[in-house]
Structure 1
Amino acid sequence: MSRGDELKELAGDLSRAAERARRLGLPTTVYLLSMALVEVREAAAASDDGDDHGAA
């Protein structure tokens, strides 16, 4: 599995976790997971472009 694929899988996991936290009424957890999701999506996009400069 490529790095980009792993990052996309992680993004999906984070998205599901954030939605679950939202349903449970955990706003701080939702915020933190959302920020992590942004970072992972940016890293995945950079990986897709073949550019690791934006990767965390």
Structure 2
Amino acid sequence: MSRGEELKELASDLSRAAERARRLGLPTTLYLLSMALVEVREAGAAADDGGDDGAA
């Protein structure tokens, strides 16, 4: 599995977790998961472009 594919899978997992946190009424958890999701999506886009922004 490529790095881009792994990042897309992680983004999907984070999205599901954020939705569950929203339903459970956990605003701080939702915020943190949302910020992580943004970072993972950006890293995934960079991986798709063949660039490496140094994000881990």
Q: Decide: shared fold, TM above 0.5.
A: yes
1:46 is aligned to 46
CA distance in 2, matches of 1:32, 1:20: 13
1:5 is aligned to 5
TM-score normalized by structure 1?
A: 0.95
The Cα of 1:55 is off from its aligned counterpart by: 3.0
Give the total of aligned pairs: 56
Q: Give runs of ≥4 in structure 1 deviating > 6 Å.
A: none
State the SS of the aligned residue for 1:21. Answer: helix
The Cα of 1:47 is off from its aligned counterpart by: 0.0
Amino acid at match of 2:9: E
CA distance in 1, matches of 2:54, 2:41: 10
Contact kept? 1:22, 1:30, Cα under 8 Å: yes
| Structure 2: gaps (5+ residues) | none
CA distance in 1, matches of 2:55, 2:47: 8
| Structure 1: gaps (5+ residues) | none
CA distance in 2, matches of 1:33, 1:54: 20
